[in-house]
Amino acid sequence: MRKLLDQLYLSAAALAAVFMLGLLVMVLLSVFGRQFHFYVPGTDAYAGYLMAGSGFLALAHTLKHGEHIRVTLILASLKGAAKRRLTLFAIGASAALSALFTFYSVRLAWQSHTFNDISTSNDASPLWIPQLSMAIGALLFTVACLDEWWLHWKGESQAASSDIQHVE
């Protein structure tokens, strides 16, 4: 199961990188279009979709590698069981909030599909398509939070620590 989850997080991060390349293409297309007097409809909208998709799809991989911003002021002052309990609480709260966000993201994509909601920009794309990447990214983040909570509970956390090392 561990190998499957790690591969899932890595695949989502790879897809996020592809989305970032797509974002670069959209921005460059827009810039060159202005310079050479041609217009490709929807480049701004697609750039936004790709940026949101890349951000959400990278969340799980980022969490599992300890790269999320963490406020460790209180955590650094605690030791032993108190530190473990606070860490479990923080990860549990993150999992609960991300599960809530996942629910509403999936619901938004489903409603956009059901109501045939389309983009207001001139490309008129179905909105459920870019919203799907947000929903999938949120779902993977929720799974990663639950995975990290479980590992902390068992005392086997894999996430790299992003704590600041103090030099004396």
- What are the pLDDT digits (tens) for 20-66? 999 999 999 999 999 999 988 888 899 999 999 999 999 999 999 88
Mean pLDDT, residues 106-127 taken together: 92
Query: What is residue 16's DSSP assignment?
Result: H
Say which amino acid occupies 45.
A
Q: What average pLDDT does the chain have?
A: 89
Tokens of 33: 């279009």
Domain contains 166: no
Range of the domain at 117: 2-154
Domain contains 160: no
Domain contains 164: no
Report phi then psi at 78, rounded to 5: -100, 155
| Residue for token pair 């709260």 | 93
pLDDT at 159: 56
Would you say the pTM of this structure is higher than 0.75? yes
pLDDT at 168: 35
Domain contains 161: no
Domain contains 81: yes
Contacts of 126 (CB under 8 A, 6+ apart): 112, 113, 116, 117, 118, 119
pLDDT at 8: 95
Domain contains 167: no
Domain contains 143: yes
Chain centroid to Cα 145, Å, comes to 12
pLDDT at 58: 96
Number of domains in the chain: 1
pLDDT at 111: 97
**In this predicted structure, which of 4-18, 53-67, 71-85 has the lowest mean pLDDT?**
71-85
Q: Which residues pair with 118 in a beta bridge?
A: 126
pLDDT beyond 70 at 79: yes
Q: What percent of the chain has pLDDT over 90?
A: 66
Residue 165: CB atoms within 10 A of its CB come to: 5
In angstroms, the CA 37 to CA 52 distance is 28
pLDDT beyond 60 at 147: yes
In angstroms, the CA 47 to CA 3 distance is 33
Domain contains 37: yes
pLDDT beyond 90 at 18: yes
